[in-house]
C-alpha cells in the first residue's frame, strides 16, 4: 500500500484543504459511512469507502493500490491499534465491492473506490 500511496492517505473531509491544490497523484481518500453499535458493549460495525485518485485514464496503479489496501485491511484483523487515545481491535474486514472506472473532472483524475465493512471492538 505504501508503495503506491506513500503518505498520501487523507480523510475525505480534508480533500481540498488548500484551495485549488490537490495532493500529488496517486492519493487515497477515506470516507467513513454509517456506523452501528451492537447490543454487546463496545462492538461497532462501520462502512468505509477508500477512493483512489490517479493520473487521468490510468487505472493500472489504481487497481494495484486498491488490492494492496484490501490485503492490508485483511492482515490487520485480530490486531490492536490506538486511534485518538482509544484502543480498538479489528475483528473482521468484509470487502463489499469496487466501483466501475470513474473520472473526476475537477481534480482531473481517474477515480475508483472500494467499500469495506469493518467490525471491531473498543476498550471504551
The enclosing domain of 93 has a CATH number of 3.30.2000
pTM, 2 dp? 0.80
Mean pLDDT of the chain: 83
pLDDT tens, residue by residue, 40-76: 668 888 889 999 999 877 788 889 999 999 999 999 9
**What is the structure's pLDDT at 115?**
95
State how far the Cα of 86 lies from the Cα of 114, in Å rounded to an integer: 26
pLDDT band at 92 (very low <50, low <70, confident <90, very high): very high
Whole-number Cα distances in Å, 60 to 24, 48, 63, 84, 103:
17, 22, 5, 34, 14
| Number of domains the chain contains | 1
State how far the Cα of 69 lies from the Cα of 67, in Å rounded to an integer: 5
pLDDT tens, residue by residue, 6-21: 777 777 665 555 555 6
- Give the domain range for residue 31: 2-122
Amino acid at each position: 500500500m505504501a508503495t503506491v500511496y506513500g503518505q498520501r492517505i487523507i480523510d475525505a473531509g480534508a480533500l481540498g484543504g488548500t484551495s485549488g491544490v490537490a495532493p500529488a497523484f496517486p492519493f487515497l481518500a477515506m470516507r467513513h459511512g454509517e456506523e452501528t453499535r451492537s447490543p454487546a458493549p463496545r462492538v461497532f460495525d462501520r462502512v468505509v469507502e477508500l477512493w483512489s485518485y490517479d493520473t487521468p485514464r490510468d487505472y493500472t496503479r489504481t487497481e494495484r493500490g486498491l488490492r494492496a489496501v484490501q490485503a492490508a485491511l485483511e492482515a490487520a484483523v485480530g490486531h490492536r491499534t490506538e486511534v485518538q487515545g482509544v484502543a480498538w481491535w479489528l475483528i473482521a474486514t468484509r470487502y463489499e465491492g469496487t466501483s466501475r472506472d470513474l473520472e473526476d473532472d475537477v481534480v482531473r483524475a481517474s477515480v475508483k473506490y472500494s467499500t469495506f465493512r469493518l467490525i471491531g471492538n473498543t476498550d471504551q
